[in-house]
Amino acid sequence: MRSFKRNLAAWLFALPALAILGISCSVTDSVEEEDPYALWKEQPNERIVFMSKADSPEGELYLLDKNGHVTRLTDNERHENNPALSFDGTKVAFNGGDEGNLLTWEIYTLDLSTGVETQLTDNNVIDAHADWSPDGAMIVFGSFRDAQGNPSGTADIYVMDSDGTAPTRLTDSPWEDNDPEWSPDGARIVFKSTRNTQQGGREEIYIMDSDGADSQRLTTTSGWQSDHDPSWSPDSDRILFTRFEGNRVWYDTANFAEDWEELTPWNVHRVDLGGNVERLTDSADAGWGVTLYSADASRILFGTIDWITNNDNHVIGGHHRLILMDPDGSNQRRLLPDDAHTGTLEYFDW
């Protein structure tokens, strides 16, 4: 269960949500106010879907369009997270359920044009981290179930038709296999796993054929390093991921406010299919966030948390921001202005 970052997320969102006010000014009255969404409008991607607790303590899904307008996609008493856009941008897959009872987490899809929501799984296990096949016909996801369908302490990778039928188990390991994502060419699935380290909280990046065959480990960790949330390049030959580089297991967050310096940083890395790893960011204290290529591979967008501390150096909150950078890690810039979502934005896709 810990692989879904429940402990970290639950602690962060127990903090008061910080509404960040954007302040603009001009040198003279004749100078036109700068468009705060200008950088976003330059990007090839058309939309961003994300989870935020700005309007609800449970957490809802939102969509940012190309004009900088935010639309709330879900409105209920259920927790939603891990949104994944279909390759054609018309639907979103996500997991939803009671945040305090992970056994209620199920996979859903939402049609962005009609607003119709469809529940795909219905069982007493954790189903989450869904992603689409390139043709939209299938969905891959992580599920904490055993061979009999009962709750399990570790996850395996499953696929199903996009209507929720024909679930098929792709991995069968006593260790954790999770965070799957389908390659744009449809040939492979990338995921994280503890099958090599055989230690909770010590995930590494693997790939396998889309039918579950020929799994290969791409990254090797040491100490308490742990690799998470892998995502493909548009040409399917490179993978981005976020590596935890702290001094203890990443989910040991019971006293995060005081111990945060041992539970950071999280930095963006890239690995090719030959296992060659590059470190793209070099933060000493950044919080966890997802990392994704732009549609044309000209930019990388990643989430990060800038911690807010008091006079005793205890964390009292954080700015959850989306950072745009060049593929080599240079030219890092904030993509969006701070707003009501800055205090709680978590998983996103574009």
3-class DSSP state of 305 = strand
Mean pLDDT of 318-337: 98
pTM above 0.85, yes or no: yes
Mean pLDDT of 314-333: 97
3-class DSSP state of 153 = strand
pLDDT of 6 over the 70 cut: no
pLDDT tens digits for range 227-256:
999 999 999 999 999 999 999 999 999 999
3-class DSSP state of 44 = coil
Cα 150 to Cα 295: distance, rounded to the nearest angstrom: 39
Distances from the Cα of 64 to the Cα of 37, 136, 347, angstroms: 11, 22, 14
The DSSP 8-state label assigned to residue 230 in this structure reads: E
Which position has the higher pLDDT, 165 or 21?
Answer: 165
Cα 4 to Cα 251: distance, rounded to the nearest angstrom: 10
**Residue 204 contacts residue 197 (beta carbons within 8 Å):** yes
Q: Look-up: residue for tokens 């098929």?
A: 168
DSSP line for 268-337: EEEEETT--EEE----SSPPP--EEE-TTSS-EEEEEEEEEE-TTS-EEEEEEEEEEE-TTS-S-EE-S-
pLDDT category at 16 given cuts 50, 70, 90 is: very low
The token duo for 242 is 């976020």
pLDDT of 284 over the 50 cut: yes
Cα 236 to Cα 342: distance, rounded to the nearest angstrom: 31
| 6 Cβ neighbours under 8 A, 6+ residues apart | 102
* Mean pLDDT over the full length of the chain: 92
pLDDT of 218 over the 70 cut: yes
| 17 Cβ neighbours under 8 A, 6+ residues apart | 53, 54, 343, 344
Please count the CA atoms within 13 angstroms of the CA of 250 that sit on its side-chain side: 27
pLDDT category at 26 given cuts 50, 70, 90 is: very low
pLDDT tens digits for range 292-303:
999 999 999 999
pLDDT of 172 over the 80 cut: yes
Mean pLDDT of 90-105: 95
Give the range with max mean pLDDT: 3-7, 55-59, 60-64: 60-64
Using only C-alpha atoms, what is the Rg of the chain? 19
% of the chain at pLDDT higher than 90: 89
Cα 75 to Cα 55: distance, rounded to the nearest angstrom: 9
3-class DSSP state of 7 = helix
Q: What is the pLDDT of residue 147?
A: 87
Q: What is the pLDDT of residue 32?
A: 62
Mean pLDDT of 311-317: 97
Cα 327 to Cα 222: distance, rounded to the nearest angstrom: 25
